[in-house]
Chains A and B, each alone.
Chain A
Amino acid sequence: MSLLDFARGPALQWAGIIFVLGMVWRTLGIFMLMRSSPLSANRDNHLFEHGVRTVWSRFVPAPVFEKKVSFQYVAGWIWHLGFLVVLLFYKVHVMFFEGLLGFGWPALPNSIVLAIAGVTLGVLLWLLGRRIFNPVLRYISTFNDYSSVIITTLPILTGLLTFTHFGIAYETLLAIHMLSIALLLVWFPFSKLFHVITLLPSRYVLGVKFWRRGVQA
């Protein structure tokens, strides 16, 4: 079995299984914990609607914080969206998903995907540098933070190298790219990348708590 066969065979398959089982396990483990309900009277009776409003409103910082944190919000949007666009709209990826799901969708031109991947990679590397050099981020960062950024960056980096046939044989580059994806899938449920499941519900929890007390959160 060649490295490429291993990467796109057992490595990706096992990574996928670990990803699915890990995500389900951690999600159920959290959401099946007990919940306490307040007994005091609410100020606001449209808590679901307002909780959802908080989920949306936290995509942008409140005006009073804009000067301090806007750049990190913007950087976050850019790389998250960039990652998704490259994952879902690069022609080869669309073909991969078509083979997996039985249906496909239009892809973006390679030149656009390449540019988006470049920007995404740049932002991720900048965020990694910021985590290293910013005193607050350096102080609060753990192995989970550094490794998660690096493991998220690797598929973009290796994908770009594969696309440009950089240096070594294409098959080897492709195998490395697929192994980096397998690593990401395995790491995902056990790391802070899991926030894709908890972040929006967490906003909702805060929103309900604050709106209940008559405060727009």
Chain B
Amino acid sequence: MTEVVTKEELDEAFAMFYGMAASIKDLVSEPVEVSDEERVAAAKRVFLKGIDANLATQLEACVHCGACAQACQFYLGTEDPKYTPIHKLDLMKRVYDREMSPLSWIKKHVLKDITADDLRAQQELVYDACTMCGRCNMVCPAGINIADLVALNRSALSAARLMPDELRYMQEAQAEDGTIFGADEDLFMFRVQDLQDKLGFEIPVDKPKAEVLLLTSGLDIHLFRDATGGAIETLHHMGIDYTLRTDAYEGANFGLLAGHEPTKKMLTEKLTKVAIEIGAKIVIVPECGHSFPAMRWGAAESVGHSVPFTAMTVSEYFGKAVMEGRLKLEKSKEKRVVALHDPCKVGRGGGVFEEPRAILEAIGWELHETESNRAYNFCCGGGAGNFLIERADKLKRAGYRIKMAEIEKTEAQSLVVSCGSCRMNFEVGKVKAGDTLPVESLAAIIAAHLPKKEKAEGEAA
């Protein structure tokens, strides 16, 4: 692998980026004045539009057994009953009961209507104290998809203009620029040029046609350039017909994270249209957990019909190539013991489990699984945009502690992740907790184990 970023450069970039992320709250625009009645009406519209027969069945199936609390790291980390996952749906259930359920003719006389203050109180529950990781879905005896219903709560709060300031800033900025953290086209091209210089080969940008469209993210452009660099180097090594695009490079989707449906749809639709236009068969989303569901499950929904490409994560694409023998990796000289973090949106939300494990096996590293792994994995503690919410800091730390305790038990020498925001959370968590376990990008690890003798022509030694 060609070193595209040194540890010193990464530390420096991390410090700058962290400062930038911390200042978001000060940059956010003044909120639009909306009456309480309008907020309530907007939230209700979203709830009532979003609940179909399947969700109604799930809402009607809860017996309040409380098992979901035992799966949630925010409850486990704080032991505060208000963080019990099913409680996060109470407000929506009340709207459903009063206005939509078959018993609404009784319940509207028994249950109080929701208020704007209820919606304000709901912010903490569905943004700060829930990363929509979906672990609670796995323990519920009634199989209630709490995470998806929390996503609907976020959409309702967004419609009521009650997003946390940090996510509102990110959503508004991305709705305007299409990208995040100011990673505009100039910065994107600067990073491409930088990677090109270091990798020693031309990186295809804006090819009119390509088999593979590679996305990146503002986080990788600013910070985790080893992840994007690793993906590019490996695609080049494999001789894949791929391209990056100046009109479709940002994989992050803060519309999805904030619950802002118009922005979510607009961003996914934009990428989808470019992918179709260039005839891509595969869209590789970057090491950015939520960009996977945004494209894999959201692309067809955004354009209203099935799409002629498959969205894959970096770990899935290269893992499959390893499993199918299309990508050979060199065995590592070092028999390193590692732990693997399955990002929630990619693993439990996307079914990508074996591919990253195949990569680690191919390079000969010894994987020590955490007690909760694959579909039962704990979240990093700050997913779904929580890593940006300043007031959620204590909750994030509690979530991180639960996760890190399992990792420490594996006695791993390093932690492998394939999600930039998970990586960011681990790095911040480590700093705050005084932990020192190295956290590594899977894409960078792949590139570091490409067989040297088979490197493509023109590549730097």
The residues in B between 227 and 267 inclusive whose CB is less than 8 angstroms from any CB of A are: none
Cβ contacts under 8 Å, B298 to chain A: 40
| Pair A195/B57 contact, Cβ less than 8 Å | no
13 A–B contacts, CB within 8 A, in A order: A33-B52, A39-B304, A65-B71, A68-B67, A134-B66, A136-B75, A139-B82, A192-B62, A192-B63, A197-B60, A202-B57, A206-B143, A210-B375
Flag whether A203 is at the interface (Cβ < 8 A): yes
| Extra inter-chain contacts (8) besides given A135-B81, A136-B66, A190-B106, CB under 8 Å | A38-B301, A39-B304, A136-B75, A137-B66, A140-B86, A213-B350, A215-B350, A217-B375
Flag whether B435 is at the interface (Cβ < 8 A): no
CA distance in complex: A54, B137 (Å): 12
- Return B355 CB to nearest CB of chain A, in Å: 11
Cβ contacts under 8 Å, B62 to chain A: 192, 195
B 333-359 binary contact with A (CB < 8 Å = 1; else 0) = 000000000000001111110000000
- Chain B contact residues, CB within 8 Å of chain A: 51-54, 56-58, 60-67, 69-71, 75, 79, 81-82, 84, 86-87, 90, 100-103, 106, 137-145, 148, 296-301, 304-307, 310, 347-352, 371-372, 375-376
The residues in A between 25 and 79 inclusive whose CB is less than 8 angstroms from any CB of B are: 25-26, 28-36, 38-41, 43, 54-55, 58-59, 61-62, 64-65, 68-69, 72-73, 76
CA distance in complex: A210, B74 (Å): 23
Cβ contacts under 8 Å, A136 to chain B: 66, 69, 75, 81, 84
- Return A197 CB to nearest CB of chain B, in Å: 8
Flag whether A13 is at the interface (Cβ < 8 A): no
Q: Contacts A40-B300, A217-B143 given: A205-B54 contact, CB under 8 Å?
A: yes
Flag whether A214 is at the interface (Cβ < 8 A): yes
| Pair A40/B375 contact, Cβ less than 8 Å | no
Cβ contacts under 8 Å, B106 to chain A: 190
- Return A106 CB to nearest CB of chain B, in Å: 32
Interface residue count on the A side (C-beta < 8 Å): 60
| Pair B143/A141 contact, Cβ less than 8 Å | no
- Chain A contact residues, CB within 8 Å of chain B: 25-26, 28-36, 38-41, 43, 54-55, 58-59, 61-62, 64-65, 68-69, 72-73, 76, 134-142, 145, 190, 192, 194-195, 197-199, 201-207, 209-210, 213-217
The chain A residue sitting closest to B301, CB to CB, is A39
- Return A205 CB to nearest CB of chain B, in Å: 5
The chain B residue sitting closest to A31, CB to CB, is B53
Cβ contacts under 8 Å, A68 to chain B: 67, 70-71, 139
| Pair B371/A64 contact, Cβ less than 8 Å | yes
Interface centre among B51, B57, B106, B306 (most CB of A within 10 A): B57
Interface centre among B65, B90, B137, B305 (most CB of A within 10 A): B65
CA distance in complex: A141, B89 (Å): 13
CA distance in complex: A58, B145 (Å): 13
Q: Contacts A33-B52, A40-B300, A73-B141 given: A214-B350 contact, CB under 8 Å?
A: yes
| Pair B376/A62 contact, Cβ less than 8 Å | yes
The chain B residue sitting closest to A191, CB to CB, is B103
- Return A37 CB to nearest CB of chain B, in Å: 10
| Pair B301/A195 contact, Cβ less than 8 Å | no
| Pair A139/B138 contact, Cβ less than 8 Å | no
- Is chain B's binding surface mostly helix, strand, loop or mixed? loop
Q: Which of B60, B66, B142, B372 contacts A194 (CB 8 A)?
A: B60
CA distance in complex: A214, B374 (Å): 12
Q: Contacts A26-B102, A205-B58 given: A215-B144 contact, CB under 8 Å?
A: no
Cβ contacts under 8 Å, A43 to chain B: 351
| Pair B351/A65 contact, Cβ less than 8 Å | no
Q: Which of A40, A140, A194, A202 contacts B81 (CB 8 A)?
A: A140
The chain B residue sitting closest to A44, CB to CB, is B351
| Pair A61/B142 contact, Cβ less than 8 Å | no
| Pair B139/A61 contact, Cβ less than 8 Å | yes
Cβ contacts under 8 Å, B67 to chain A: 61, 65, 68-69, 72
- Return A30 CB to nearest CB of chain B, in Å: 5
- Return B413 CB to nearest CB of chain A, in Å: 24
Q: Which of B53, B71, B75 contacts A33 (CB 8 A)?
A: B53
| Pair B53/A34 contact, Cβ less than 8 Å | yes
| Pair B56/A30 contact, Cβ less than 8 Å | yes
Cβ contacts under 8 Å, B296 to chain A: 40
| Pair B375/A216 contact, Cβ less than 8 Å | yes
CA distance in complex: A140, B65 (Å): 9
| Pair A41/B300 contact, Cβ less than 8 Å | yes
CA distance in complex: A142, B82 (Å): 14
Q: Contacts A39-B306, A205-B54 given: A217-B81 contact, CB under 8 Å?
A: no
| Pair A202/B142 contact, Cβ less than 8 Å | yes
CA distance in complex: A62, B143 (Å): 12
CA distance in complex: A194, B262 (Å): 37
| Pair B306/A199 contact, Cβ less than 8 Å | no
Cβ contacts under 8 Å, A34 to chain B: 52-53
| Pair B103/A190 contact, Cβ less than 8 Å | yes
